[in-house]
Structure formats: structure tokens, C-alpha cells
Structure 1
Amino acid sequence: MRVLVVGAGIGGLAVANGLVEQGHDVQVFEHAEALRDGGAAVTVWSNGTAALRDLGVSLDGVGRELHSLRSVTESGRLLWEADLDAVTERLGSPTVEIPRRTLIARLAEALPAEVLHFGRRCTGVTEFEDGVVVRFDDGTVATGDLVIGADGQRSAVRRSVLGGPPAKLTGWASWQGLTRSDLPIAHGSRTLNIAGRNGHAGLIPAGDGLLHWWFDMPWREGDPELSVADLRAAFRGWPEPVEELLSSVTDDDLGFFPHIRHQVPRVWGGPRSTLLGDAVHAMPPAVAQAANQTLEDAWLLSLLLPNIAGVSADPEPMLRTYEQERRPRAVKVSRTAALTSAQRSTPLQRLGRFPKWVATRSQVVSLRSGSNVLQALAPQVKVA
């Protein structure tokens, strides 16, 4: 099949890798003039690295493999510590913190050069009985057998095929960065989360002396964006090494990201369209699962869309199966993220169980281990 993917972020590139491997003619269209390598770092949990492994993308030699998570209160009292090695053993893949630009590069370099098209902003999608047309703002069009909207929280594909409201602000925001650091935590393998009554902070090593750090606080539309000086005042007296970190960074290091959440629809597309990632289930970053759920989307969609030329001209049954399988998982994780984002201090005390929660609910592992289930979903799929 000729598959049109709108968006060259993590989800679009991941699903393109899986579909190219299946033998499809894949074309990825990105509105930017080059790969978007902004942002700080991504925590790729074991469910995400398992999905990447099956998509043929290795994280060997990049980022930092994590072995434990530690959470304390703003007074320094221990809330919990979680062992990630047990999760790695159970799922067969590690948790890795990786700069977003590095992950994007890894995903892109695995694709044939002719797959990627830049400077093509989608303005609409029209589906026909025998194909689909994607329109771009430069007046050009692309035709194919189906389209996948991987174009983020403001998805043009979602607006065109589903309509409905955009993602909503949750009332919180993150100020974050990725900087080189001499702090010991930047050279270890443990992340530190600090929960306070009015905010939250996190520090996590990302490899090569890079430290991913973030500060979450209540924020509503119209409120000013904070500066590093504002963060120093708000987080004064917090446990080490918060103050030392904030003394070493500048406003140029600071990225601002309001938290949002989508209403996840029951159906994600039309007869020749579907969505993945933030285009369909954008969620707050509180449990670091947005990218991982996107990777699970890409993994399952790739498996359920084998090259069906000569088998079936109608992709809709497999598109709807993908959505029915993924929606309950995505909704559950989104709810957990929203609860944790809105009520920092109490849910973070329970979040120590989250690694185990991920391990028992990874769709990659559960479907792979129950290969008969996967075969029932898509009889043409060969389970490794």
C-alpha cells in the first residue's frame, strides 16, 4: 500500500520505520523545513524501547540507561524508590533517557532518504472509496491508499477527518532544559523527583554529561512565563541539587511547555485514515509516557497493516482494530498523567508503583507473549 504519514516527529518516523519494514510505499510529510530537533530529553520506558526494538530501531550507544527512580518531598523526606532493573528483566528491554534530537535522528537515519518530505504543511484530507488525498498549503497534493495523522496536538489530519475540540490546557506547565552539568546526578543512572505542595521538580541523566531537568507549576492561559530568576525564588530551599542546578542555567536554557490533554475519541479516523500519538491522545508529561504510548501506537499499527496488496483493498477493518486495541491503554495512562499533574503531592506517593504498572500493561509485551491474540487481530502478521 501507499501510506501517507503526516508529521515527522517521534510517532511519524516510528510508524514509517515499521511500515517500510512491512514493504509499504511510505511517504512522510513534515511542515518544517528540516527535522524538528528541539525539546529537551525523552524518557523511553521499557515499553517504549521494546516497541523500538520491534520497529528495528536501536538505542545502543546513545542516552543513559536508568536503573532506579527516587522521589522525595520538598523537605527531603523519602517518598519511594523504584528499581527499574526488575522491569527491564520482565520486559526484556531497558529504560533509557535520551535527548529528543538524538532519538529523532536515530528514527530518521533508518529510513530511505526519499521517504521524507519537508516544507509540506497539511491543510486537509479527503477520503474516497479507493484512496485518499492530502492537501498542502503550497497547493500540492499527495495521493495514497491511507493516511496516518502523526502531526501532534494541533493535528490538521484530526481536524479534517474527525473535527471536534482541540486539546485543553490542564492548568499546569513545565519549565525544562537539557544542559551539560558537573553535578553527580548527571553522571549516574538514577532519576530524582521532588514533590512539593505548589510544584514539582525532576532531574534525570541523559548521557554524555547531559542533565534533563524540569520544574512544574500551576499555570493558566494569560499567566506570564517564568524566568530562571522566578524559578530560583519559587524553589529556594528545596533539596540538593535544585538550587545548585538553577544557579548554573540561564533563560536561554529554558523551554516552556503548557500541559494539555485530549479527549480521546472512540474512533480515530475515517475509512482510510487514523491517528497516533499526540494527534489523538495528548497528555501531561507527569508520568513520562506520552512518547512511549506513541511508540506503542506505531508498533501495533505497523503490525496490523501488513502489505495487503492482493489480500484486501480495504484497510478500514485493521485501522479500527488498531484503535480498539490501543484506546483503553492510552485512556488509562492519560488519566493517570492528568491526575498526577493536577494533584502533585498525593499521587506522587503512589507513583512508585508506576514502573510495575508499566511492566504489567505494556501492550508490546502482552500481545507478543500472547501471540495467538495477535494472530487473531491480524491473521497475516508473523509473530517473531
Structure 2
Amino acid sequence: MRVLVIGAGIGGLAVAKGLIDGGHDVAVFEHADALRDGGAAVTVWSNGTAALGQLGVTLEDVGRQLHSLKSITDSGRLLWEADLADVTERLGSPTIETPRRLLTGKIAAALPEHVLHFGRRCIAVTETADRVVVDFDDGASAEGDLVIGADGQRSVVRRELLGGGPARHTGWASWQGLTRSDVPVAHGHQTVNIAGRDAHCGLIPAGGGLLHWWFDLPWRQGDEALSLRDLRRMFTGWPDPVGPLLAEVGPDDLGFFPHIRHVVPRVWGGPRSTLLGDAVHAMPPAVAQAANQTLEDAWLLSHRLADVAGEPGPALRAYEQERRSRVLKVSRTAAFTSAQRSTPLQRVGRLPKWIATRSQVASLRSGSTVLRPVPA
């Protein structure tokens, strides 16, 4: 089949790799003039690295493998710690933190050069019984047998296929960045999450001395984003290494990202169309699963279309039905976890390490398709 993929982010590149390996003729159209290099870093959990492995992409030479996940309060008290080395052993695939630009670059490098088309902004999608046509803002168009919307939370393909409004703001936002740092956590293999009554901080080494950091706070649409000076003032007195890190961070490192959540529809497209990733199930970053669920989408969609040469509709609906049940679980967990960040922690007891570790394994399995057998 001739497959048109709209969007050259993680999902669009990954599904293109899987479909090309399955013998399909694929073209990826991206509105930017080159691969995007923003977005700080990505935690690729065991389900994400497993999906990438199934697609023939390895992250062994990028980022930093994580061995531990620790959560403490803003007073420094340990809440729980999960052994990610044990999680890797149980699930058969590691957890890796990597700069987003390295992840997209790694997948893109596995594609033939002629597949990627930059500077092509999709403005309309027309679907008929035997073809799809995508129109671009420069007056050009492309025709194919199938279109896949991988164009993010403001997806034009979703709007054209399904209508409806954009993803909703959740009432929280992240101030985040990727900084080369001298603090010890930047050179280790441990994620540190720090939970306060009305704020949350995360620190993850991303390889090469880079530290992915973020501060989550309540935020209302229309409010101004906080400055670096505001963050330094608000997080004074938090446990190390928050203070030393914020002293190192420069204004150019600071990115602002409101949290959003999509209503996940029952059907994601028409007889020759579907969606994947943030185009269909954008979610808060509380459980760091958005990119991983996108990679699972790409893997399963490629798997479902591997032997399809004619009408793709039944394979598309099978993909959507299988992924929707998993994505809904993860999206609800992310929304619940985000909401609980305002819960007082003084009465929360310390969780034994073995329980935290097995809970991590169970959570990843329950929200995953690639870590479970795929039904025929």
C-alpha cells in the first residue's frame, strides 16, 4: 500500500519504519523544515524499548540506562524506591532516558532519505472508498491508500476525520529543561522524584552529564508562565540537588508545557485512516508514558498492517480496539496521579522496595500491548 504519514515526531517516524519493513510504500510529511530538536528528554520505559526493539531500533548507544526510581517528599523523607534493574530483568527490556533529539534522530536514521518530506503542512484530508488525498498549505497534494495522523495534540488529521475540540487543559503545567550539570544525580543511573503538597520535581540523568529536570505546578490557562527567578524562589529549601541545579540552569534551558488530556474516541478514523500518539490520546506526563504509548501504537499498527494489501479498514479497527483499552488505563492513571499531587503527604508511610518494584512491573504490563501476546 501507499501510506501517507502526517508528522515526523517519534510516532510518525516509528510507524514509517515498521511499515517500510512490512513492504509498504511510505511517505512522511512534516510541517517543520527539519527534524525537531526540542522537548528536553524522554523516559523510554521497558514497554517503549520493547516496541522499538520489535521495530528494529536499539537505544544502546544513546542516553542513560536507569537502575533505580526513588520518590521523596519535599522534606527529604523517602516514600518509596523501585529497583529498575529488577524491572528490566522481569520484563526483558530496559528503561532508558535519552534526549528527544537523539531518539528521533535514531529512528529517522533507519529510514531511507526519500521517505521524509519537510516543510509540508497538512491543511485537509479527503477520504473516499478507494483512496485518500492530503492537501498542503503550499498548494501541493499527495494521494495514497491510507493516511495515518501522527501530528500531535493539535492534529489536523484528527480534526478532519473526527471533528471535535482540542485536548483539554488539566490545571497543571511543567517547567522543564535539559541541562549539562555537575550535580551527582546527573552522572548516575537513578531517577529522583520529589513530591510536595502543591508542587512536584523530577530529576533524571540523560547521559553525557545531561540532566532532564522538571517542576510541575498548578496553572490556569491565561496565566503567565513562571520565570527562572520565580522557580528559584518557590523551591528554596527543597532537598538537594534542587538548589544547586537551579543555580546552574540558564534562561535558555527553560521550557514551559501545559498539561493536557484528550478524550479518547472509540474509533480513530475511517476506512482508510487512523491516528496514533498524541493525535488521539494526549495525556498528562505524570507517569511519563506518552512517548511509550506512541511507540506501542506504531509497533502494533505496523504489525496489524503487515500482510494487508487491499482494504485496510478491518486491520485499522483491530489496532484501535486493542490499543484503546490499554491507552485508557494509562491515561486515567496519569490523570489520577497528577491530581493526587496536591494530596498531603505527611501521613503517607514508606513503601517497601519489593512492593514498589513489583508495582512498577504490574503497572507497565497492564498498560502495555507489546509486553503481552498480541491476539490473532
Asked if TM exceeds 0.5, the reply is yes
2:365 to 355, 359, 368: 359
* Deviates further, 335-344 or 348-357: 348-357
Runs of 4+ in 1 over 4 A off after TM superposition: 345-352
Q: Tell me how far apart the structure 1 counterparts of residues 333 and 342 of structure 2 sit (CA, whole Å).
A: 14
* Deviates further, 136-145 or 342-351: 342-351
Contact 2:197 2:343 in 1 (8 A): no
Provide the residue aligned with 2:338 in structure 1.
341
Q: Which amino acid aligns with 1:282?
A: A
For the pair 1:77 / 2:77, whether they are aligned, the reply is yes
Provide the residue aligned with 1:97 in structure 2.
97
Provide the residue aligned with 1:154 in structure 2.
154
After superposition, where does 1:56-67 map in structure 2 within 5 Å?
Answer: 56-67=56-67
SS in structure 2 of the partner of residue 340 of structure 1: helix
Residue 354 of structure 1, CA deviation: 3.5
After superposition, where does 1:35-50 map in structure 2 within 5 Å?
Answer: 35-50=35-50
TM-score by length of 2: 0.95
Change (3 A) 1:162 1:211: same
Q: Tell me how far apart the structure 1 counterparts of residues 53 and 96 of structure 2 sit (CA, whole Å).
A: 13
Change (3 A) 1:300 1:259: same
Q: Which amino acid aligns with 1:319?
A: L
SS in structure 2 of the partner of residue 69 of structure 1: strand
Contact 1:155 1:279 in 2 (8 A): yes
Contact 2:235 2:242 in 1 (8 A): yes
Q: Tell me how far apart the structure 2 counterparts of residues 227 and 340 of structure 1 sit (CA, whole Å).
A: 26
How many equivalent pairs are there?
A: 367
TM-score by length of 1: 0.93
Residue 37 of structure 1, CA deviation: 1.1
Describe the superposition over 1:27-76 as per-residue Cα deviations: whole angstroms up to 9, x where unpaired.
00000010011110000000000000000111011100001100001111
For the pair 1:326 / 2:323, whether they are aligned, the reply is yes
Q: Tell me how far apart the structure 1 counterparts of residues 365 and 324 of structure 2 sit (CA, whole Å).
A: 18
Provide the residue aligned with 1:315 in structure 2.
312
| Percent identity for Structure 1 against Structure 2 | 72
Q: Tell me how far apart the structure 2 counterparts of residues 26 and 90 of structure 1 sit (CA, whole Å).
A: 35
Q: Which amino acid aligns with 1:359?
A: R
Contact 2:74 2:239 in 1 (8 A): yes
Q: Which amino acid aligns with 2:363?
A: W
After superposition, where does 1:1-384 map in structure 2 within 5 Å?
Answer: 1-309=1-309, 313-344=310-341, 346=343, 352=356, 353-367=359-373, 373=375, 376=376
Q: Tell me how far apart the structure 1 counterparts of residues 339 and 30 of structure 2 sit (CA, whole Å).
A: 33
Contact 1:133 1:142 in 2 (8 A): yes
Contact 1:68 1:191 in 2 (8 A): yes
SS in structure 2 of the partner of residue 173 of structure 1: strand
Q: Which amino acid aligns with 2:313?
A: E
SS in structure 2 of the partner of residue 286 of structure 1: helix
Contact 1:176 1:214 in 2 (8 A): yes
Residue 355 of structure 1, CA deviation: 4.2
RMSD: 1.5
Q: Tell me how far apart the structure 2 counterparts of residues 78 and 20 of structure 1 sit (CA, whole Å).
A: 47
Q: Tell me how far apart the structure 1 counterparts of residues 170 and 179 of structure 2 sit (CA, whole Å).
A: 27
Contact 1:173 1:219 in 2 (8 A): yes
Contact 1:195 1:345 in 2 (8 A): no
Describe the superposition over 1:194-215 as per-residue Cα deviations: whole angstroms up to 9, x where unpaired.
0001100000000000000000
